[in-house]
Structure 1
Amino acid sequence: MFEEASEVFDNMFKSSFPLTFIVFIPAVLILVSPLPAEAAHEFTVYRMQQYDLQGQPYGTRNAILNTEARTVEAEVLSRRCVIMRLADFSYDKYQKALRQSAGAVVIILPRNMSAMPQDIVQQFMELEPEMLATETIVPVYFAMEDDELLSIYTQTLTSSSSQGSLSAAEVLVHTATANGFQMVTSGSQSKAISDWAITSLEGRLAGVGGEDLPTIVVVAHYDSFGVAPWLSYGADSNGSGVSMLLELARLFSKLYTYKRTHAAYNLLFFLSGGGKFNYQGTKRWLEDNLDHTDSSLLQDNVAFVLCLDTLGNGDSLHLHVSKPPKEGTPQHSLLKELEMVRTHRYPEVKFSMVHKKINLADDMLAWEHERFGIRRLPAFTLSHLPSHRLAQRSSIMDVRPHVDVKKLSRNTKVVAEALARVIYNLTEKGAPGDLQIFTEQMQVQEEQLSAVVDWLTAQPRAAQLVDKDSAVVSTLEYHLGHYLKDVKRHYVKADKRDPEFVFYDQLKQTMNAYRYVKPAIFDLLLAVCIAAYLGMVYLAIQNFGVLYGVVRRLTQPKAKAH
């Protein structure tokens, strides 16, 4: 059987070359055509921030991807999905991808970001604001590494690196024959989220001894911020501030339960939303209390507003002020009491006052107390950071290990003791500087602080992810209601005609990496080959008589000479 088939094919080659050409060339082209795409890996990607603030767009503007994968080592990145690992990330490489109009950028993050070398972490934190400074047309994603994704990266890196050392012809052949990965995102193009409500919470402890009592306001914003909303856990900024506020509410609620310790100060606690978006929740709360109501504790005698921001680490405390407090004022009393508590009980802690005027020309306020200062309310922010420009305030690298619970507990004790000394006027009454008010059952609970920080950092708290029905809001409301009276919600929605802020969806998507995908240039070369083949067939048919005569002369056996 096989011998007969072999004889048939041999006769076709010998006696009918055009027929052989017509039959076998298509077969060859079919055999070298690209293999069907096969799903290699499906993984979750987190898109870079996309929002508008005061009419200015920030972050990436696109959320759709369907293109080939390359690493930044490749010479040509245009319309390619550029994959980078965080360990190899640099702003120059990122800008190279943007300059060459890459189709997208995917940055692979390690599973345990806290285990990354500190210099890499610090470098990336400093680059995050630059990545968000202006709008970017190229979609930018972040993905958590796994074995499959690292394998895709390694294969793509090998393919991309080899092209740089080849000649132009070799690059062309390599590009046409190599198998790569096609990166495809599910979902649609991003669009603005309408009627999004930022939620803030307030609760109070009423003082005793009359109606016109001074009010002390304690404030902390609860939302987090980073280059990618779904990866923003805000452990130190501002999970530590929220944890401290709740602990202060617990401690002073106990003091206000007993007649002997019920002070002649109203205490107002405020957990603000939208803090990372120029303190939108605080802005609306002030408008509601100062402009749209006849009865508010903020319209009465406000002693001072203490904002808590980033207090979970370090061995220093900085009181940031827009205007230095005058002697004899409650603000100055708090400054003195903070210094006194630190000196007598925690001498290892460095304390200073940082004066910075409010710059209304800036698009973003430096600290939350500036919102109150604009409305002429005496306010300041306590933080272990000496400057508002430090990168850890707005970074996806601000994760749970960045909070040292022992230092957070120590800082909470300093604030609690200083506030109590102001409220009960202990210095004027001659109380010693080392007097400890919160002792035994009334002391700061380190376990409670740790539990709150653990819970806060268990989920991202970016403002565009925390709606009015979220577990974050309802749980915070429950805790405030456990300690305080008259707990209320306050909502802020963007104005429809001239919105102060606009959030967008498609911040978390599924990406598929398909393998055995031939690049686009392969299709081009294949089309050229098919066109050339059809042209040759056409010419052969048009000149069949001539071609047949030539073939016959070449294949006809020569006559034997006699």
Structure 2
Amino acid sequence: MFEEASEVFDNMFKSSFPFTFIVFIPAVLILVSPLPAEASHEFTVYRMQQYDLQGQPYGTRNAILNTEARTVEAEVLSRRCVIMRLADFSYDKYQKALRQSAGAVVIILPRNMSAMPQDIVQQFMELEPEMLATETIVPVYFAMEDDELLSIYTQTLTSSSSQGSLSAAEVLLHTATANGFQMVTSGAQSKAVSDWAITSLEGRLAGVGGEDLPTIVVVAHYDSFGVAPWLSYGADSNGSGVSMLLELARLFSKLYTYKRTHAAYNLLFFLSGGGKFNYQGTKRWLEDNLDHTVMCLKAAFVLCLDTLGNGDSLHLHVSKPPKEGTPQYSLLKELEAVVASQYPEVKFSMVHKKINLADDMLAWEHERFGIRRLPAFTLSHLPSHRLAQRSSIMDVRPHVDVKKLSRNTKLVAEALARVVYNLTEKGAPGDLQIFTEQMQVQDEQLSAVVDWLTAQPRAAQLVDKDSTVVSTLEYHLGRYLKDVKRHYVKADKRDPEFVFYDQLKQTMNAYRVKPAIFDLLLAVCIAAYLGMVYLAIQNFGVLYSVVRRITQPKAKAH
């Protein structure tokens, strides 16, 4: 009976082998093939700066990413997406990835950057200019940390770190069985943005006594800057300067409302755009208005406000020391007098630095006016223009101390008022305070403006003429000033001074995948299995006889 059954099965398999082969292949693939990607994590990434300034390219030149993830600890980084956390970031690691022709770099930032250790924050701020100093072909992205992204980083780090301590066989097995992550961006390649307009705003308070009055110009640039435009909030630089300018406009607009306090000075308040790109807004405004604007031709001095929201020191940066008897010298002396009599805790000094026209970037905004032979200076709590916090994504809201910003605002307001009303020559004591009671500086107003400014990135590439940033600033100027105007700057099409690029914010997907060698190993296993099945089918009778002989009980010896 069993012999007949074996012959039937044997003949059936042999006669219908192609059918059996077709049945077995899908069955084997279903049983042994890896499952599809267990999960894919979608998250937002922010690309590093890409711009041209005076013909010189800066930042990354690429925006497309489709490659496997590795950490910098891996032996081979070529054509891999190197992911690293800010806490472990260093310029040497970054350069290692670039030297090994990595496919991309993704730097994971903590959700609360202000809670980072100060040494790490300071180190990264100092590295940002280095990262932007030269053109980089490799796309560089920043992402905000979340639980899924941290898990991806941890798994990739474990995979990358273990390979260096294993034998060749273990590495091969680990490579074949480990899970990996394919990092893919959904955006297109970046391209230059045409006809981008940088917007500047001006408003005025006319003095009493005729048109030929001297003019005091108060300036602050409103745009922010950092290694990634979408992460540049510019709290201290220059949210504090903008907030101070608006508060000064409010205070002096009240003084200029009454005849008794209407001074014989014109006041012009200017919010410039493109400040972080060599002060393009100020440059164009001077070119368009200097020759025929009476207020500029008769400028007593230009006071630029930059980074004034912290510290217990104030520095008046000048390109040329003011001469005695000039209005700018009067401001210097009034600042010294107000500090000495009302704010002795503040350390005030004048910093003299000549304009270096050979540099690609001007140091301070007042140098734009100095080139045009207008008396100008910049007030800042920073002693040098080279300090990293002026151009960093780490310059966030906690970097502004509203109490110190309020103190500095009142100090500047008092000194300006003493110049405008010529109080020193009139014998007014140094401790006389003008802005008190109903006229005092409003901390809530300063805080609200800084909060609003730091609620969105204000990089020049993101603030167009229709931006809410521009319209809101224009509204606030219009509340206090007259003749509020907009000024636009567009790059020359033939020889552009600046070029901006798009694709600065994209969506990235991290797909869980098996490595390519896994497919090869799987194919070998399937082939071996099918070969064994084929041999078993072709020799079913022999196999059956062997199995029967093994399993048949032995006859007992008589």
Q: TM-score, normalised by structure 1?
A: 0.89
In structure 1, how many angstroms separate the alpha carbons of the residues matched to 2:477 and 2:56? 35
Structure 2 match to 1:120: 120
Deviation for aligned residue 1:176: 2.2
In structure 1, how many angstroms separate the alpha carbons of the residues matched to 2:546 and 2:319? 98
Q: Is the 8 A contact 1:105 1:140 kept in 2?
A: yes
Q: Does 1:333 align with 2:330?
A: yes
SS of the residue aligned with 1:212?
A: coil
Distance 1:410 1:19, change over 3 A: same
Q: Is the 8 A contact 2:10 2:541 kept in 1?
A: no
Q: Is the 8 A contact 1:15 1:555 kept in 2?
A: no
Deviation for aligned residue 1:37: 3.0
Mean CA deviation greater in 190-199 or 22-31: 22-31
In the TM superposition, what whole-angstrom CA distance separates every residue of 1:264-314 from its partner, at most 9, and x where no partner exists?
100000000000000000000000102476xxxxxxx11000000000000
Deviation for aligned residue 1:96: 1.1
In structure 2, how many angstroms separate the alpha carbons of the residues matched to 1:387 and 1:237? 13
Which sections of structure 2, spanning at least 5 residues, go unmatched?
none
In structure 1, how many angstroms separate the alpha carbons of the residues matched to 2:7 and 2:138? 60
Deviation for aligned residue 1:258: 0.6
Deviation for aligned residue 1:318: 0.2
Q: Is the 8 A contact 2:223 2:276 kept in 1?
A: yes
Q: Is the 8 A contact 2:226 2:393 kept in 1?
A: yes
Q: Is the 8 A contact 1:192 1:502 kept in 2?
A: yes
Deviation for aligned residue 1:210: 2.1
Q: Is the 8 A contact 1:310 1:384 kept in 2?
A: yes
Mean CA deviation greater in 535-544 or 485-494: 535-544
In the TM superposition, what whole-angstrom CA distance separates every residue of 1:456-489 from its partner, at most 9, and x where no partner exists?
0000000000000111000000000000000000
Mean CA deviation greater in 267-276 or 522-531: 522-531
SS of the residue aligned with 2:549?
A: helix
In structure 1, how many angstroms separate the alpha carbons of the residues matched to 2:134 and 2:420? 46
Alignment of 1:443-522 (within 5 A): 443-515=440-512, 517-522=513-518
In the TM superposition, what whole-angstrom CA distance separates every residue of 1:370-417 from its partner, at most 9, and x where no partner exists?
000011100000000000000000000000000000000000011000
Q: Is the 8 A contact 1:235 1:403 kept in 2?
A: yes
SS of the residue aligned with 1:164?
A: helix
Q: Is the 8 A contact 2:28 2:526 kept in 1?
A: no
Q: Is the 8 A contact 1:272 1:282 kept in 2?
A: yes
In structure 1, how many angstroms separate the alpha carbons of the residues matched to 2:239 and 2:3? 82
Mean CA deviation greater in 50-59 or 28-37: 28-37
Q: Is the 8 A contact 1:283 1:371 kept in 2?
A: yes
In the TM superposition, what whole-angstrom CA distance separates every residue of 1:345-384 from its partner, at most 9, and x where no partner exists?
0001000000101111110000000000011100000000
In structure 1, how many angstroms separate the alpha carbons of the residues matched to 2:543 and 2:495? 77
Aligned residues: 554
Deviation for aligned residue 1:81: 1.1
Distance 1:7 1:286, change over 3 A: farther
Deviation for aligned residue 1:99: 1.0
Q: Is the 8 A contact 1:205 1:268 kept in 2?
A: yes
In structure 1, how many angstroms separate the alpha carbons of the residues matched to 2:336 and 2:391? 29
Task: State percent identity of aligned pairs.
Answer: 96
Distance 1:284 1:14, change over 3 A: same
Which sections of structure 1, spanning at least 5 residues, go unmatched?
294-300
Deviation for aligned residue 1:166: 1.2
Distance 1:560 1:193, change over 3 A: farther
Deviation for aligned residue 1:67: 1.1
SS of the residue aligned with 2:430?
A: coil
Distance 1:487 1:357, change over 3 A: same
Structure 2 match to 1:366: 363
Deviation for aligned residue 1:15: 13
Distance 1:413 1:169, change over 3 A: same
Deviation for aligned residue 1:6: 11
Distance 1:191 1:527, change over 3 A: farther
In the TM superposition, what whole-angstrom CA distance separates every residue of 1:202-250 from its partner, at most 9, and x where no partner exists?
0000011122110000000000000111110000000000000000000
Distance 1:396 1:9, change over 3 A: farther
In structure 1, how many angstroms separate the alpha carbons of the residues matched to 2:248 and 2:3? 95
In structure 2, how many angstroms separate the alpha carbons of the residues matched to 1:4 and 1:51? 83
Mean CA deviation greater in 536-545 or 263-272: 536-545
In the TM superposition, what whole-angstrom CA distance separates every residue of 1:531-557 from its partner, at most 9, and x where no partner exists?
999999999999999999999999999
Mean CA deviation greater in 413-422 or 153-162: 153-162
Deviation for aligned residue 1:521: 3.6
In structure 1, how many angstroms separate the alpha carbons of the residues matched to 2:553 and 2:164? 53
Alignment of 1:350-389 (within 5 A): 350-389=347-386
Q: Is the 8 A contact 1:46 1:228 kept in 2?
A: yes
SS of the residue aligned with 1:278?
A: coil
SS of the residue aligned with 1:149?
A: helix
In the TM superposition, what whole-angstrom CA distance separates every residue of 1:163-207 from its partner, at most 9, and x where no partner exists?
111123322332222111111111111111110000000000001
Distance 1:370 1:343, change over 3 A: same
